[in-house]
Amino acid sequence: MSWLNRAKKGVKTQAPAKPADAEGLWTKCPICSDIIYRVELEKNLWVCGRCDHHFSISARQCVDLLVDPGTFEETWKSITSLDPLEFKDAKEKYSLKLKKTMLRTNLSEAVLTGHARLQGREIVLCVFDFAFLGGSMGSAVGEKIARAGLEALSKRVPLVIQSRSGGARMHESILSLMQMAKTSAVLAKMHEARVPFVSVLSNPTTGGVSASFAMLGDVIIAEPRAQIGFAGPRVIRETINQELPEGFQTAEFVQECGFVDIIVSRKDLRSVLHRVLTFLCPMQNEAVITSGSTVEQEVPESAPAAPPRSEHGSAPQHPPMAEGRLVPREIGLHGSG
């Protein structure tokens, strides 16, 4: 009998086990093809040390990187999407897809909301998770963002939203699109009351999210080379029938067009956010950053955030929110772009 032939037909054999050290210890960078040791990558906050590519990370990882340890308290965890249209795609029902995604990601929706402290300052924070149906905005996501805005408004603390989304959730059709108006309306109220909102755009921020709240920040920060736009480049190319410029829809391109204020690497995001918030709404005894210098300014304890604008347009009682469009140099920031 030959050792290379099976004696019986239909006998199943086990695939040879992979050596333990080959499983998940190395990651290939999709941009420079460098093979990176995962422990090193994690230490470097999931940024490629060779080409500065920012790997996609989960919402909970983002929260851990941004806020003071142990200060994040999740809110509105129970708000989840329903399926009023009983939508079903070629593969499965939307309701089933939602349940599977919730189990896989351990999230109730594509956005994680809560309040936390950033270098001691209280903030309301919303972070998107792309692993949850492409970070898409359905009715529950819109509701959570709107409630986060209203919470920031009532407490008069800054709102920070880190977006990472493919846009509106098509499974919910018009209900998703209505969230664009709802979230924008809450932000308009915040703007009127002069409560700051900082928008952080991660890769990718597109569709209905970029066309609503993500582009309405008092300061808009983007990750290097993040894709930012509305429709995808292929759709645009086929519609206008023209070649698109190099770097189209990257954070750097969008910044040149004036839609992004600062481009900030992930490892600097926490400190830059702190500086931006210090500029927008200094806490008690905190230095107010002005063009090229810092000025110590006493802010009453009762006014942690920017004060409401007077109806008659007179000067506000306390300093915060500088008038007019903010530019990076005003807050002493130049980012990496």
Residues at the site binding Zn ion, with contacts judged by CB under 5 A: 29, 31-32, 34, 48, 50-51, 53
Least spacing, CB of residue 11 vs Zn ion, in Å: 45
For the bound state, the minimum distance from the C-beta of residue 34 to Zn ion, rounded and expressed in Å, comes to 5
Taking the complex as a whole, the smallest distance from the CB of residue 35 to Zn ion amounts, in Å, to: 10
Query: What gap in Å lies between CA 121 and CA 125, rounded to an integer?
Result: 12
Is the CB of 35 or the CB of 90 nearer to Zn ion? 35
CB nearer to Zn ion: give 32 or 85.
32
The minimum distance between CB 48 and Zn ion, in angstroms, equals 3
Q: Quick one: how far is CA 209 from the chain centroid?
A: 10
| Residue 119 C-alpha from the chain's centroid | 19
Least separation, in Å, of the C-beta of 168 and Zn ion? 31
48 or 141: whose CB is closer to Zn ion? 48
Q: How far is the CB of 263 from Zn ion (least distance, A)?
A: 17
Enumerate residues 6+ apart whose C-beta is below 8 A from 169.
81, 110, 133, 136, 137, 138, 141, 176
Euclidean distance between CA atoms 138 and 116, whole angstroms: 24
Residue whose CB is less far from Zn ion, 48 or 190: 48
DSSP assigned state of 137 = B
CA distance 182 to 82: 18
Answer whether the bond into residue 204 is a cis peptide, omega within 30°: yes
On whether the CB atoms of residues 306 and 320 are closer than 8 A, the answer is: yes
3-state SS class at 199: strand
Question: Rounded to the nearest whole angstrom, what is the least distance from the CB of residue 37 to Zn ion in the complex?
Answer: 13
> Measured from the CB of residue 52, what is the shortest distance to Zn ion in angstroms?
7
Pull the structure tokens for residue 114. 């809560």
Which residues have C-beta within 8 Å of that of residue 119, sequence separation ≥ 6? 68, 270, 274
Beta bridge partners, 205, equal 165, 228
With 0-12 CB in 10 A as exposed, 13-18 as middle and 19+ as buried, what is 232?
A: middle
Grouping H, G, I as helix, E, B as strand and the rest as coil, residue 326 is coil
Q: List the alpha helices (DSSP H) in 106-258.
A: 139-155, 173-192, 207-210, 233-240, 251-256
Integer-rounded Cα radius of gyration of the chain: 23
Closer residue to Zn ion, CB minimum distance, 31 or 65:
31
